[in-house]
């Protein structure tokens, strides 16, 4: 894979359109986690230091196309940037389909790309409008690199110069380090609600990792191979596929679980073996014996890939499994890479971000890269590189 990097291009005085991933949780106008914003800053800061005219665009949430709603506005992120970049002029534009006038070293934050007609469908008309407001397009939103949309992919068809930002390059390098020649033993922890959404990544990791630890609804589907698991979240249609994986590879399934009768915050937890779970109970976390076994495995590992919590960590009584695994990874000397929205929430909850080797901003992109899929945005950058070589 060969792509042009922002550090290899003269951007001084140029209109540089950076597609960042500023899709952060916002409640009543207040940013709840700035992890993705912080990850995007190095590319933006580099462009400012090079005296470029910096234009930043991103999506936020899932608004209805062409329907402005305050809930999905990037204005709170503009307010955040004003405080962060108090040494330079910064503007907010809610109509950026016309030219954006900036001086060198100034910043414009553009309104949510998903308010624009044609964004999700990758319409050429919108993609051309994006390309018309810049001299150089910088793709830096790894979390959206798997989406073929106007602001992530289509714009690349019409700009003369397209390159990768610092975050995108770091994401690719970190994932390659974990997947290509990992130090062993290599352990993958895959949690979450549905095995169907992560079945391909489980298949791929099973051929790379020495051990796979499954948690959440995914683990429940594996448990359902041999046990009745009450009303626990699982996918009956995937039990047969799960069995084939379990029988072929080293997949660690919980040997005991924390269960409750009601899915609510204050529900008390009871630890049970899988063969003792009643029809009115549901599994919501690992039990202590499972936690002890997994901690032992993690302490021996040299590479750890972590995607997803192993229980309902939002509920205090069903948090222990996720918490103990998270803290063990943080204390480990292994090269650790973590990704996925819920995983980022766990990292924030236990304040361990400085103890993870690399935190990926991607969710779907993180998983698709691990599966070995070609991400559309990266493919677009590769095609641009080829054109530049041929010209």
Q: What is the pTM of this model?
A: 0.86
Q: Is residue 98 part of a domain?
A: yes
- 390 pLDDT above the threshold of 90: no
**What confidence score (pLDDT) does residue 347 get?**
92
What's the number of domains the chain is made of?
2
106 touches 89 (CB < 8 A)? yes
**What confidence score (pLDDT) does residue 271 get?**
98
At 258-312, the pLDDT tens digits run 999 999 999 999 999 999 999 999 999 999 999 999 999 999 999 999 999 999 9
pLDDT band at residue 1 under the 50/70/90 scheme: low
Look at residues 44, 78, 36 and name the one whose alpha carbon lies nearest to residue 165.
44
Cβ neighbours of residue 194 closer than 8 Å, sequence gap 6 or more: 217, 218, 235
* pLDDT > 90 fraction of the chain, expressed in percent and rounded: 79
- 391 pLDDT above the threshold of 70: no
Residues 225 and 92 reside in one and the same domain: no
pLDDT band at residue 96 under the 50/70/90 scheme: low
The packing angle between helices 199-206 and 239-248, to 10°, is 10
Cβ neighbours of residue 348 closer than 8 Å, sequence gap 6 or more: 33, 35
Q: What is the DSSP string of 220-278?
A: HHHHTTTS--TT----GGGHHHHHHHHHHS-EE--SSEEEESS-STTPPPEEE-GGG--
Q: Is residue 231 part of a domain?
A: yes
Q: In the chain, where do the E strands start and end? A: 15-19, 26-27, 30-31, 53-57, 90-93, 107-110, 136-139, 161-164, 186-190, 211-214, 251-252, 257-260, 270-272, 282-286, 303-307, 335-338, 358-359
How far apart CA 219 and CA 235 sit, in angstroms, is 10
Higher pLDDT among residues 373 and 120, named by residue: 120
Residues 17 and 139 reside in one and the same domain: yes
At 213-268, the pLDDT tens digits run 999 999 999 999 999 999 999 999 999 999 999 999 999 999 999 999 999 999 99
pLDDT band at residue 340 under the 50/70/90 scheme: confident
Place of tokens 């309902």: 312
Q: Is residue 344 part of a domain?
A: no
Give the mean model confidence (pLDDT) for residues 137-158: 96
How far apart CA 356 and CA 335 sit, in angstroms, is 8
Give the mean model confidence (pLDDT) for residues 188-202: 84
- 195 pLDDT above the threshold of 80: no
**What confidence score (pLDDT) does residue 186 get?**
96
Please indicate if the annotation marks 379 as binding a ligand: no
Residue positions annotated with a catalytic role: 36, 194, 341, 364
Residues 18 and 143 reside in one and the same domain: yes
Please indicate if the annotation marks 341 as binding a ligand: yes
Please indicate if the annotation marks 62 as binding a ligand: yes
**What confidence score (pLDDT) does residue 198 get?**
84
241 touches 202 (CB < 8 A)? no
Residues 196 and 280 reside in one and the same domain: yes
Look at residues 199, 215, 213, 211 and name the one whose alpha carbon lies nearest to residue 342.
215
How far apart CA 185 and CA 297 sit, in angstroms, is 9
**What confidence score (pLDDT) does residue 97 get?**
65
Look at residues 106, 92, 5, 122 and name the one whose alpha carbon lies nearest to residue 51.
106
How far apart CA 278 and CA 276 sit, in angstroms, is 6
Residues 385 and 312 reside in one and the same domain: no
Domain that holds residue 15: 6-167+374-390
Residues 13 and 125 reside in one and the same domain: yes
Please indicate if the annotation marks 198 as binding a ligand: yes
- 122 pLDDT above the threshold of 80: yes
Residues 278 and 379 reside in one and the same domain: no
Look at residues 139, 218, 196, 131 and name the one whose alpha carbon lies nearest to residue 171.
139
Please indicate if the annotation marks 135 as binding a ligand: no
Give the mean model confidence (pLDDT) for residues 27-36: 88
pLDDT band at residue 87 under the 50/70/90 scheme: confident
Q: What is the side-by-side strand order in the sheet with 161-164?
A: 90-93, 107-110, 53-57, 15-19, 136-139, 161-164
**What confidence score (pLDDT) does residue 192 get?**
82
Q: Is residue 66 part of a domain?
A: yes
**What confidence score (pLDDT) does residue 177 get?**
87
Q: Is residue 69 part of a domain?
A: yes
What value does the mean pLDDT of the chain take?
93
Please indicate if the annotation marks 314 as binding a ligand: yes
How far apart CA 17 and CA 102 sit, in angstroms, is 12
Number of other residues whose CB lies within 10 A of the CB of residue 175: 21
Residues 229 and 290 reside in one and the same domain: yes
Give the mean model confidence (pLDDT) for residues 157-176: 94
Look at residues 77, 3, 2, 93 and name the one whose alpha carbon lies nearest to residue 44.
77
Q: Is residue 71 part of a domain?
A: yes
**What confidence score (pLDDT) does residue 197 get?**
79
Place of tokens 């380090």: 177
Residues 163 and 188 reside in one and the same domain: no
Residues 158 and 189 reside in one and the same domain: no
Q: Is residue 295 part of a domain?
A: yes
326 touches 294 (CB < 8 A)? no
Q: Is residue 60 part of a domain?
A: yes
How far apart CA 44 and CA 281 sit, in angstroms, is 50
CATH number, domain containing residue 58: 3.40.50.1260
Residues 188 and 294 reside in one and the same domain: yes
Residues 205 and 66 reside in one and the same domain: no
Give the mean model confidence (pLDDT) for residues 201-217: 93
Beta bridge partners, 210, equal: none
């Amino acid at each position: 894979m060969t792509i042009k990097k922002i550090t290899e291009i003269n951007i001084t005085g140029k209109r540089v359109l950076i597609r960042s991933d500023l899709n952060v949780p916002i409640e009543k106008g207040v940013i709840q986690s700035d992890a993705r914003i912080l990850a995007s800053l190095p590319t933006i800061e580099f462009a400012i230091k090079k005296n470029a005219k910096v234009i930043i665009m991103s999506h936020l949430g899932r608004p209805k196309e062409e329907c402005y709603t305050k809930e999905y506005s990037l204005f709170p992120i503009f307010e955040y940037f004003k405080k962060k970049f108090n040494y330079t002029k910064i503007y907010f534009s809610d109509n950026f389909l016309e030219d954006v006038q900036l001086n060198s070293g100034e910043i414009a934050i553009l309104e949510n790309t998903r308010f624009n007609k044609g964004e999700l469908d990758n319409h050429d008309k919108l993609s051309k409008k994006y390309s018309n407001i810049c001299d150089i397009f910088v793709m830096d939103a790894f979390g959206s690199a798997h989406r073929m949309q106007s602001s992530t992919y289509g714009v690349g068809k019409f700009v003369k110069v397209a390159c990768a930002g610092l975050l995108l390059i770091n994401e690719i390098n970190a994932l390659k380090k974990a997947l290509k020649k990992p130090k062993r033993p290599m352990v993958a922890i895959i949690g979450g609600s549905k095995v169907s959404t992560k079945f391909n990544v489980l298949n791929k990791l099973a051929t790379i990792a020495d051990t796979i630890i499954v948690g959440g609804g995914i683990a429940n589907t594996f448990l359902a191979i041999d046990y009745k698991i009450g009303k626990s979240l699982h996918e009956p249609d995937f039990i047969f596929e799960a069995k084939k994986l379990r029988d072929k590879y080293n997949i660690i399934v919980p040997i005991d679980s924390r269960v409750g009768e009601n899915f609510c915050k204050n529900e008390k937890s009871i630890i049970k073996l899988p063969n003792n779970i009643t029809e009115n109970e549901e599994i919501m976390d690992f039990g202590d014996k499972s936690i002890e076994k997994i901690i032992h495995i993690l302490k021996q590992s040299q590479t750890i890939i972590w995607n997803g919590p192993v229980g309902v960590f939002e509920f205090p009584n069903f948090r222990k499994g996720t918490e103990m695994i998270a803290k063990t990874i943080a204390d480990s000397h292994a090269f650790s890479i973590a990704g996925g929205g819920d995983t980022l929430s766990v990292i924030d909850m236990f304040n361990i971000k400085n103890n993870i080797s690399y935190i990926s901003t991607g969710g779907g992109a993180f998983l698709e890269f691990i599966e070995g899929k070609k991400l559309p945005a990266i493919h677009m950058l590769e095609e641009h590189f080829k054109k530049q070589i041929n010209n």
